[in-house]
Amino acid sequence: MIDDADPASWKRDIFVLFCAILVFFSIGLAARPYLTPSEARYIELPHQMLITHDWLTPRIDGVPYFEKPPLFYWIQASVMQFFGTGEFAGRIATAVMSTLICLITYATARMFYGRLAGMLAAGALATCALGYALSRVAMVDIPVSLFLTACFACFLTAQNMENRRWYYGMYAAAALAVMSKGLIGIVIPGLVIGTWIILTRRWWTLFEARLISGLLIVLAIAAPWHWLMTRAHPGFFDFYFINEHFTRYLTDSHKRVQPWWFFIAITLAGLLPWTGLLFPTLRQVRLKEPATLFLLIWIALPFLFFSASHSKLAPYIFPVFPPLSMLLGRYLAEAWQGRHIIALRGNAWLVLTLFTIALAVFLFVPLPLDDQNKLAFASLPKSLLVPTGLTLAALAYLLLGRRPAPELITGLAIFALIVDMTANRIVADIDHATVKPLAAQLAPRLHANDDVVAYASYFQDLPVYLDRNVAVAGYTGELDFGVTHYPQTHRWMISDEEFWQRCAADTHNVYVFMKKTTFDTLPPHPDCPLRVIGEYGKTVMLERNFP
């Protein structure tokens, strides 16, 4: 334990870190449309709560949707109720929660390794590629990571300060993690804390942690919504618990299969620009320190747990990044004070080499892309890359000049800031999956009685940008459970044949969104002729052409 209990410096550091990191995460939040399908889905769910005034049952386009618990939707809906559904309002809650993860990382690292380690741990987490990327997308991975991090931090604090009240925070955080993403909110803490107790033989923790009262806290927070949903929706239990937890984890049913090394690659890429320090950091950890052993277990067991799953997406692994950053913070603090200089320089050379090659490829090598993406990349202003080039040159100067460790660490952090913000801008310029431009084109001519239809596909962001539900023809996809179990949805979730019949008989304007590939193979329908009135990316917008 580090004797670092100066209250004034704690408050000052937390205030400065909160302001600095939140500003960094907030820059450019509204620079690009919602990513589809995932991000747009987590905007449409709270959007539906505001439309229906029903905060119990999650819905997408009016269809009940039971894949995740609702805590994140409640948070999003609360923000959107006051600030609307624009991209800044839809993402600011994620930016704030990402900032809080960094603050907990700072506090935990400082408690065990000192103030400098805490500051550098928070900085490493905020500037690493995955930490920055997830701070600006509205998805459930940041909320669950926040509450898991808070759960483990409360446990470590209770152990360190011998104050049992922190255990109550641990249970509350675990329950909120359950309400964010399901049973992993208690499975992951149970695995990590249980393994640590076994390895350290601290059996008395089982008695001092107040398991009975803790269980009551978890049930008080997490049980009511699950119980109300089970009563209101008879099919909820099987779909939510069996299909979305066990079937998703144990089978390939969700078609998100990745190789066993997937999360290794994501971790290495996601830690940039600190990746080169990962193995030196892990090599010099001290297993005899109970807190350090806990951090290693916190890294290893969730990593193995998610790697064993048959459903893998890159954000799943983010809960291991806070403990990785705490260990990195300690290593960087030692480097700041004159140790590990060879490893630090090696990491800087790695970053310099990788990004110089990437910049050269980006500028001079034809990329194997389709015509649309080639055009998007070609249209990017080359001035976007000037800050990255300048910081690469500055990094080379620091290395060739053999500047001291504090300057090198600061240079890497500034480089990360520049690259992260540049990448955000590039994504904004080349993302053509959104229907936002088409929705903006349609909105001025759209009347309340007009029909808007997504044909043979569902565009997750369409209801958000039009601020209304749409009909969906010839497609159910992830909405299949809701469509199957709730017959009232058949009024707008219709078959291909029914769409053409309705289109022929409709006396109102009909606007149809579909993929270009679908439009190119669409057979003629004389009773419902459609003409293209808008096109963006791989999507076309059509209007029923009255004779």
- Say which range, 309-318, 383-392, 444-453, has the weakest mean pLDDT: 383-392
Omega of the bond prior to 37 within 30 degrees of 0, cis? yes
Q: Give the whole-angstrom CA distance, residue 348 versus residue 399.
A: 8
Share of the chain above pLDDT 70, in %: 95
Query: What is the pLDDT confidence band of residue 213, given thresholds at 50, 70 and 90?
Result: very high
Report pLDDT digits (tens) over 143-175: 999 999 999 999 999 998 877 899 999 999 999
> Which residues 6+ apart lie within 8 Å of 145 measured at CB?
101, 318, 319, 321, 322
Residue 278: what pLDDT?
95
Residue 250: what pLDDT?
76
> What is each CA distance from 444 to 13, 120, 260, 448, in whole angstroms?
49, 50, 50, 11
Query: What is the pLDDT confidence band of residue 39, given thresholds at 50, 70 and 90?
Result: very high
Q: Is pLDDT at 254 greater than 70 in this prediction?
A: no
> Residue 224, Cβ neighbours under 10 Å: how many?
11
Q: Is pLDDT at 382 greater than 80 in this prediction?
A: no
Residue 57: what pLDDT?
96
Distance between terminal CA atoms of the chain? 80
Mean pLDDT of 98-105: 98
Residue 5: what pLDDT?
65
Q: Give the whole-angstrom CA distance, residue 255 versus residue 257.
A: 6
Q: Is pLDDT at 547 greater than 60 in this prediction?
A: no
Mean pLDDT of the chain: 91
Q: Is pLDDT at 30 greater than 70 in this prediction?
A: yes
3-state SS, residue 326: helix
Which residues partner with 473 through β-bridges? 455, 494
Reading the block at residue 478, the tokens are 């992830």
> Which residues 6+ apart lie within 8 Å of 440 measured at CB?
465
Residue 369: what pLDDT?
61
Mean pLDDT of 325-350: 94
Q: Is pLDDT at 184 greater than 90 in this prediction?
A: yes
Q: Is pLDDT at 243 greater than 90 in this prediction?
A: no
Q: Give the whole-angstrom CA distance, residue 39 versus residue 464.
A: 11
Report pLDDT digits (tens) over 13-26: 999 999 999 999 99
- Say which range, 176-180, 231-235, 273-277, has the weakest mean pLDDT: 231-235
**How many angstroms from the chain centroid is the CA of residue 170?**
23
Report pLDDT digits (tens) over 63-74: 999 999 999 999
Q: Is pLDDT at 291 greater than 80 in this prediction?
A: yes
Q: Give the whole-angstrom CA distance, residue 460 versus residue 64.
A: 15
> What is each CA distance from 144 to 228, 295, 319, 387, in whole angstroms?
22, 18, 8, 34
Residue 55: what pLDDT?
96
Mean pLDDT of 38-51: 94
Domain boundaries, the chain: 7-31+66-336, 341-430, 436-544
Q: Are 160 and 1 in contact (CB under 8 A)?
A: yes
Residue 246: what pLDDT?
81
Residue 46: what pLDDT?
96
Reading the block at residue 102, the tokens are 């960094």
Report pLDDT digits (tens) over 460-494: 999 999 999 999 999 998 899 999 999 999 999 99
Q: Is pLDDT at 191 greater than 90 in this prediction?
A: yes
Residue 376: what pLDDT?
63
Residue 373: what pLDDT?
63
Share of the chain above pLDDT 90, in %: 71
Residue 249: what pLDDT?
74
